[in-house]
Amino acid sequence: MADRTVDGMARTQRSGEHSLGQVPPRAPRRLKSTTRSFNVGEGKGYLTVACTEEGRPAAVTIFMAKQGSTMAGLMDGFSTTITQGLRHQVPLEVFVREYVSMRFEPAGMTNDPEIKQATSVLDYVGRRLALDYLPYETRVEFGVLTADERAAKELQDSVGDAAWTDMIGLAMSAPTVTSPRRG
């Protein structure tokens, strides 16, 4: 028996089993990974990202240091969700877009020099994944930049807002620099 789901995929049913479309290939048994310890406010944890040979994230594990806590259980669930999404070819940008600026405790200062503050553990994870694996143009859309990139962008924006004027003898050659707009 087959019927259609909302997204148009065929759902087949055999002896009580449900299956949607084709199953994605399993990740290789060995992947290179990096583990980073982090603090967000009062929360301490570890972020492990395993990558394919091409350098794309294939598995993400968020381990909170306080075992048995609600936060540790939730982060374990989010880890599974991210990993399964990546396995099903969900672009990393989708997760980053959802997690950046998500607010809940613990929140506050971090020990990461590139991410000074985070509004939650998921905000930190989203920003860290973006910095490590997304191109600059995509990160600008999400507002995820390192301190150096942010300073360079502010300088570029203030010079880019300069009004070019037509001065006698110097047609269109001298910028009149105005103060940068505050938003």
The pLDDT tens digits of the residues spanning 31-49 come to 899 999 999 999 999 999 9
Residue 165 within any structural domain of the chain: no
For the chain, helix (H) and strand (E) counts, in that order, are 5, 10
Alpha-carbon distance of 178 to 99, in angstroms, equals 36
pTM score of the predicted model: 0.71
Q: Which domain holds residue 63?
A: 32-148
Residue 169 within any structural domain of the chain: no
Share of the chain above pLDDT 90, in %: 49
Residue 23 within any structural domain of the chain: no
Residue 170 within any structural domain of the chain: no
Residue 115 within any structural domain of the chain: yes
* Confidence (pLDDT) at 183: 54
Residue 178 within any structural domain of the chain: no
Residue 156 within any structural domain of the chain: no
Residue 88 within any structural domain of the chain: yes
What is the domain count for the chain?
1
Alpha-carbon distance of 23 to 73, in angstroms, equals 27
| DSSP assignment string, 125-173 | HHHHHHHHHS-HHHHHHHT---HHHHHHHHHHHHHHTPEEEEETTEEEE
Q: pLDDT band for position 64 (50/70/90)?
A: very high
